[in-house]
Amino acid sequence: MPIYEYRCNVCNEDFEKLVFGNREVFCPQCSSNNVKKKMSAFGMSGVDKPFAGSSSAGCTSCSKGSCSSCK
């Protein structure tokens, strides 16, 4: 069930809403339906290893940023 972030174009309220299908979204502050979906970053917890292409503390066994001997 997706939770989306929105910004109201009338009162500038930022809010999150659980949306099912193509239901119309209303601002909880002013009840306007003149809202815009925001681009949101998602978070992940419990990840042990960095994702490919992400920066890390670096490799401790060589001078490269990452290699096969890095863990």
DSSP labels, 50-62: PPTT---S--SSS
Its pTM stands at 0.54
pLDDT tens digits along 37-49: 998 666 555 555 5
Question: For position 8, what pLDDT does the model report?
Answer: 98
Residue 16: strand, helix, or coil: strand
pLDDT tens digits along 5-45: 999 999 999 999 998 888 999 999 999 999 999 986 665 55
List the one residue out of 35, 11, 40, 7 whose CA is nearest residue 23: 35
Question: For position 65, what pLDDT does the model report?
Answer: 59
